[in-house]
Amino acid sequence: MNRVYNFSAGPSMLPLPVLEQAANEMVCYGTSGMSVMEMSHRSPDYEAIIKEAEALLRKLMNIPDNYKVLFLQGGASTQFSAVPMNLIKRTGKADYAVSGQFSGKAFKEAQKMGYDVKCIATTKDDNFDHVPTITRDMIRPDAAYLHICFNNTIYGTKYGYIPDTGDIPLVADLSSCIISEPIDVSKFGVIYAGAQKNMAPAGMTLVIVREDLLDYAEETMPTMLEWKTMAENDSMYNTPPCYPIYIAKLVYEWILSLGGLEKMKEMNVAKANLLYNYLDSQDYYFAPVKKDSRSLMNVTFVTGDADLDKKFASEAAKAGLKNLKGHRSVGGMRASIYNAMPYAGVEALIAFMKDFAANNPKA
């Protein structure tokens, strides 16, 4: 088997044990006589899968009983519209912090829909090299919610703290850091995340929403975007993304078998520290993100020469280190080291970085 180290920001690599189990169960799941891909979502076999997936996630993230767990479709980007349509009627206005591309898109989507939304903090003028500092007094006292993107995939930044919003619900896009470390769910009103970075193949979107926030949906909003409808139907108002939910279940089992999110954080910190320590120890590569905002999941770096950056990504791919090219909007390199990336993958990357620097001196 010739598997590469896949540093893609998403869809990203999945744990090998999960892929192997899915392969073993591809043709026949349990005693069902069929693949999960073929099952009716109303069948007892599939209902058991989705219920177990929710139970495992609740255990993994220690989700309080007064929160609903929804397995939806449409990607996290669909929630840019769903969030205001489900919540803004509480007060008629909402606040946003813009710390990168996706939080910016969420803000623009709410603006596009004609809502009274305000950007209360942004680091755009600093090329998003850190996350903003948000204090309670910055938030409008009658805001329906504050929206943030907790980890910024493109720029490689992450909130090292959970903003104190008082009684105002905090809504967070956790797409690129979900289940990578423990997080206090009770400090959030809503958490949402696309699955394709740390949890499952593309196609599933997770929403975790506090029950008291389910009664504010716009009367005219599309039913498919209404969280309350999805909650009342146990994520099966329509056919859910059955196979990604099944893979997510396997991923949850895998993390729990390793020791849960405390162990996962330990492993992720070790990988990130290894790479950041190397970056900080030399002067060929430069990490643009301020140290107090560095992401554990997405590590960005540059050589300072666009042609060298391009050559680096190309030669790395030939060496079995795939998808290290930075996002087209920022250039450079980006190593996404999600849960499934082994420590050995980061070691291999650093060895390549050393060889590349030695063989490609700067002018």
Name the packing angle between helices 306-318 and 343-359 (round to 10°): 130
With respect to residue 322, please indicate whether it lies within any of the assigned structural domains. Answer: yes
Question: Which of these three, 231, 256, 281, is where a domain ends?
Answer: 256
Residues 248 and 348 in one domain: no
Mean pLDDT of the chain: 97
Residues 177 and 269 in one domain: no
pLDDT at 165 over 80: yes
31-42, pLDDT tens digit by residue?
A: 999 999 999 999
Residues 91 and 208 in one domain: yes
Question: Which of these three, 235, 256, 277, is where a domain ends?
Answer: 256
Half-sphere exposure of 213 (CA within 13 A, CB side): 28
Q: What is the pLDDT of residue 330?
A: 83
Q: What is the mean pLDDT of residues 170-194?
A: 98
Residues 140 and 266 in one domain: no
Whether 316 and 353 have beta carbons less than 8 Å apart is answered as no
**CA–CA separation, 159 and 150 (whole Å):** 6
61-115, pLDDT tens digit by residue?
A: 999 999 999 999 999 999 999 999 999 999 999 999 999 999 999 999 999 999 9
Residues 70 and 133 in one domain: yes
Residues 200 and 279 in one domain: no
Task: Residue 347: give its domain's CATH number.
Answer: 3.90.1150.10
191-235, pLDDT tens digit by residue?
A: 999 999 999 999 999 999 999 999 999 899 999 999 999 999 999
Residues 217 and 321 in one domain: no
Total number of domains in the chain: 2
15-33, pLDDT tens digit by residue?
A: 999 999 999 999 999 999 9
Q: What is the pLDDT of residue 208?
A: 98
Torsion of CA 198, 199, 204, 210, to 10 degrees: -90
Task: Residue 80: give its domain's CATH number.
Answer: 3.40.640.10
Residues 34 and 97 in one domain: yes
Range of the structural domain that residue 339 is part of: 260-359
